[in-house]
Amino acid sequence: MKLFNHTKALSFLLLFLLVTIHKAKAQVYQESFSQSSQAGIIIDDGVVVSLDDQQNLIEHFFSPIKFTSQGVKCFIHHTFNHKEYKNFLPHSLEHLKQFMEFGVKTKQKNIYPQAITKMFLIKLKEHSFVNAYAFNEFLQQMPELLKQYFVKEEPQQEEHILKKIKNVIYKYLLDKFNLLKDEPSDFIESLAKEIVQAVKLNQNSDGSISEEKLRQTCIRFLDHCLNKLVWSPQEPEHIWPNVRSIAAGIQNCVQTNIITDPADINDLYWSLTMQVCKLLEISGSELPMEFYTEVAEDVESGSVEFLEIEEQDANITTKKDLLKKALWDGSATAQARAQYGIIPS
């Protein structure tokens, strides 16, 4: 096990097996949490929570947010800031979705999803993993929740900006015409600064932030989650479909203009690929050969689109080749365990 040190990896596996998240629905999460051992569940820092306390805590954490001034304050103080919420959040991003839905409903400026996404990103940094099924559930809804903030500029808005720039140039020529004759380079430099300032004021006059700033926050959030994804080796039939669904979710974010830079897109696919490889490295011996056969056939067929994207550097190992090697190594450990009872270190 190389994802964490041996102690950390064992704690992680115990937690994941005890929690046993089967699907990405909140109701199933709650049932899974409730099916822990009779002694209680082990949370990330090693503390054991009794079943009674656990049930009350889970019910509290699953309570929906009341979007009133007092309701939001109550959520932040009693739920979000609760010392155990960091252990719940990786299994359910429902509260983040609720905040996003409220932003859509009330037509908030883009500074709102920027602040909310950063708030939940910081909280997720407190935990060592993110449940892949919970993440995928949120990812599938993310484009719809954020698309209003990434629309192309309306023609009338472009005309408004153009008119403002023309006014700046006209006024500057009237006031600084002598500077143009005497020091043309200084005139152009100064005029350019005035235009930039005018455009900035236009963009932020309504209390919003730049589209690119929100985009980069979204990318950081996605990348952070992708780099912490975990799957249960006890349910191998769900792993690969989930991986492909996550890849499709990233593509949906591309189609809705949330992610635009090909380098950013490829980086996210790299994070997903690496996390699958880590799963195979840690739990490869526990996965059945049917799993390896299914994935290998998909990979070889060229139908896994995110693995077919050309790398920016032709000299590096591709995502596809890296995954193929991880599949080969993992299947070897699985065969050794099945035939000889050997679990290679």
Q: What is the distance between the alpha carbons of residues 247 and 292, in angstroms, rounded to a whole number? A: 19
* pLDDT the model gives residue 39: 40
If one compares 287 and 53, the residue with the highest pLDDT of the two is 287
Find the largest Cα–Cα distance for the chain.
Answer: 90
With a cut of 70, say whether residue 143 has pLDDT above it: yes
| Mean predicted confidence (pLDDT) in 233-251 | 97
Rounded mean pLDDT of the chain?
A: 82
d(CA 320, CA 300): 9
pTM > 0.85: yes or no = no
User: Stretch 240-265: mean pLDDT, rounded?
Assistant: 97
Handedness of CA 173, 176, 178, 183 (dihedral sign): negative
Give the separation between CA 315 and CA 14, rounded to whole angstroms.
Answer: 40
Residue 317, C-beta contacts closer than 8 angstroms, at least 6 positions apart:
none
Is the pLDDT at 336 greater than 60, yes or no?
A: yes
Does the structure show a pLDDT above 70 at 69? Answer: yes
> What is the distance between the alpha carbons of residues 136 and 139, in angstroms, rounded to a whole number?
5
Choice among 75-79, 125-129, 170-174, 326-330 with the minimum mean pLDDT = 170-174
Specify burial of residue 315 (Cβ count, 10 A radius: 0-12, 13-18, 19+). exposed
What average pLDDT does this structure show over 35-45?
41
According to the model, what pLDDT value does residue 103 have? Answer: 96
pLDDT surpasses 70 at 164 = yes
Helix (H) or strand (E) holding 245: helix 236-255
Q: pLDDT at residue 40 above 80?
A: no
Give CA–CA dist 17/19, Å, rounded.
6
Flag whether pLDDT at 37 surpasses 80.
Answer: no
